[in-house]
Amino acid sequence: MKISVIQMNSQANKAENIAQALRLIADAVKEDRPDIVVLPEMFTHLGGSLEQRRAAAEEIPGGEAYRALQDAARRHKIVVHGGSFYERAPDGYFNTTVAFGPDGKELARYRKIHLFDVTTPDGREYKESATVGRGDQLVTYKVGDVTVGCSICYDLRFGELYRGLAAKGAQVIMLPAAFTLQTGKDHWEPLIRARAIETETFFCASAQVGPHAQGNDTRYTWGHSMIVDPWGHVVAQASDGQGYATARIDLDYLEDVRQKIPVHQHRVLGS
């Protein structure tokens, strides 16, 4: 199995962002022939005003982004792990991932559990809970014999979520993200490698990169989309700017790591 993590610079124009995503998916498929592609967090709309973000939200199933991901999965005959986008539901708005199989059918739907309510070291305040509601379900899905776990961005800091996904059998974990520049430069790679090591999974992190206008402010995301193996090695990483990185997922290697260091058998606390 091969997986490509897509790196984007989404702005406040939904149609242009969807076009960017479809172009990068097509490029990755043409060059690297992946079985799965992973888009970043909020790939359809990043920045802009709260009114613009909510106007870009979609009911699920249906909607422009939902149909575009379905069509891409069918056209390329791949699994599309749809990063995340704003979901409009009867009980509010959510930051939601939807994954599609090669036939275009929905495989999974995950609402982000941990919301980013933080003031970063550069003094910028982020309060995601003012924009979207909190999910409450751990989600995995199957791609053939492989179990895939779902997470989004700030979830990365909460190891208990990933222990839960590992307990549900996850062998590959997806992390669509829009990690800030200030936190990403110091925390992004160490946290990803730690999560891969402690769960003994392949960890696929697909990120936003660069500047994003928000009102009179410009905010920056870190990028550095990467795939890390169960030993904690970075096996693929995107360059700066829009693009993608691809790696082969070797389940024999995963099982070898788990046999050599069987942490799942040794856990005492929280087991």
The per-residue pLDDT for 267 is 84
Measure the CA–CA gap between 39 and 206, rounded to whole angstroms: 6
Coil, strand or helix at 117: strand
Q: How confident is the model at residue 223 (pLDDT cuts 50, 70, 90)?
A: very high
Does the pLDDT at position 1 exceed 70?
yes
Q: Is 128 an active-site residue?
A: no
For residue 14, the Cα-to-chain-centroid distance in whole angstroms is 18
In a domain, 87, yes or no: yes
Domain with 144 in it: 2-266
Question: Do 182 and 157 meet the contact criterion of CB atoms below 8 Å apart?
Answer: no
In a domain, 156, yes or no: yes
Query: Mean pLDDT in the chain?
Result: 96
- CA distance to 8, 14, 153, 224, per residue, from 210 (Å): 9, 17, 16, 10
Chain segment 72-108, per-residue pLDDT in tens: 999 999 999 999 999 999 999 999 999 999 999 999 9
Q: How confident is the model at residue 271 (pLDDT cuts 50, 70, 90)?
A: low
Chain segment 51-80, per-residue pLDDT in tens: 998 999 999 999 999 999 999 999 999 999
CATH number at residue 243: 3.60.110.10
Structurally, how many domains does the chain consist of?
Answer: 1
Q: What letter does residue 77 receive in the DSSP assignment? A: T
In a domain, 271, yes or no: no
In a domain, 242, yes or no: yes
Q: Which of 246, 141, 226 is nearest to 184 (CA)?
A: 226
Report the DSSP beta bridge partners of residue 109: 98
pTM of the model: 0.96
Q: Which of 14, 87, 112, 200 is catalytic?
A: 112
In a domain, 199, yes or no: yes
Q: Which of 14, 41, 58, 200 is catalytic?
A: 41
Q: Is 112 an active-site residue?
A: yes
Q: Is 204 an active-site residue?
A: no
Q: Which of 58, 87, 150, 153 is catalytic?
A: 153
Angle, to 10 degrees, between the axis of helix 181-199 and the axis of helix 159-167?
A: 30
